């Protein structure tokens, strides 16, 4: 018997789109002559530490902190663009979202993103494919806080066990499982299609 799934929550970077944050930061590190993996780890920590990820501060403060910590140069816009241009939407995943929605399943995005996600939407009209968008920047809470998953299910009016969460980050997957959600750890489009068909 197939599982009852009334809603599917999709992560953005690494699932709906290529992982632009990781790719962009590594590219900046290489360009600036900094070990790309170390640069990524430093900036990834700063986006949490500064509060930019959950909307507690603005982008200017975040990039200022990055410059202070790493010594890089570049305007906010230049650095941001290196990241945003690498968030390339995956047509097969958008098609999967549209297909699920056509079957009466609620589809929503649950992303640890800043206001950059709003910029991406303005250029791609991404949000029109989803019934709801849950972004850490606007909710002032990230997926590192397990209560985020229950908050989203409550907002959708659906029990946790009837919600499927799709993410490429295994830590987020484990937190969602701990809150009772069904999950798919995203490792690629083909594997996702196989697993979603098995579940539904």
101-125 pLDDT per residue, tens: 999 999 999 999 999 999 999 999 9
* Domain edges within the chain: 7-18+88-199, 20-84
CB 166 within 8 A of CB 192: yes
Global confidence as pTM:
0.94
CATH hierarchy code of domain 7-18+88-199: 3.40.50.1000
What's the confidence (pLDDT) of residue 200? 86
Specify the pairing of strand 182-185 against strand 163-167: parallel
CB 110 within 8 A of CB 9: yes
Task: Please state the separation of Cα 198 from the chain's center in Å.
Answer: 24
Give CA angle at 129 (6, 140), nearest 5°. Answer: 80
Q: How confident is the model at residue 1 (pLDDT cuts 50, 70, 90)?
A: very low
Q: Read off the pLDDT of residues 39-74 as tens digits, 9 standing for 90 and up.
A: 999 999 999 999 999 999 999 999 999 999 999 999
What's the confidence (pLDDT) of residue 2? 57
What's the confidence (pLDDT) of residue 157? 97
Q: Read off the pLDDT of residues 70-89 as tens digits, 9 standing for 90 and up.
A: 999 999 999 999 999 999 99
Tell me which DSSP letter residue 17 carries: B
Residue 139 and residue 113: Cα distance in Å, rounded? 10
Q: Read off the pLDDT of residues 21-41 as tens digits, 9 standing for 90 and up.
A: 999 999 999 999 999 999 999
Residue 193 and residue 96: Cα distance in Å, rounded? 8
- CB-based contacts of 110: which residues, under 8 Å, 6+ apart? 9, 10, 11, 134, 143, 148, 149, 152, 165, 167
User: What are the two backbone dihedrals, phi and then psi, of residue 134, each rounded to the nearest 5 degrees?
Assistant: -115, 110
């Amino acid at each position: 018997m197939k599982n009852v799934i009334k809603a599917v929550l999709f992560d953005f970077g690494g699932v709906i789109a290529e992982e632009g944050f990781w790719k962009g930061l590594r590219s900046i590190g290489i360009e600036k002559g900094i070990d790309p993996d170390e640069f990524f780890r430093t900036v990834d920590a700063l986006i949490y530490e500064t509060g930019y990820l959950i909307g507690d501060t603005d982008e200017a403060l975040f990039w200022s902190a990055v410059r202070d910590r790493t010594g890089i140069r570049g305007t906010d816009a230049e650095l941001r663009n290196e990241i945003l241009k690498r968030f390339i939407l995956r047509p097969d995943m958008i098609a999967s979202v549209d297909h699920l929605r056509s079957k009466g399943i609620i589809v929503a995005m649950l992303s640890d993103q800043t206001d950059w996600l709003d910029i991406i939407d303005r250029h791609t009209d991404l949000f029109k494919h989803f019934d709801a968008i849950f972004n850490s920047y606007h909710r002032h809470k990230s997926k590192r806080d397990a209560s985020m998953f229950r908050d989203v299910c409550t907002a959708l009016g659906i029990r946790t066990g009837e919600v499927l969460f799709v993410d490429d980050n295994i830590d987020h997957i484990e937190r969602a499982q701990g809150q009772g959600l069904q999950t798919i750890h995203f490792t690629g489009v083909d594997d996702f299609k196989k697993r979603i068909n098995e579940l539904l």
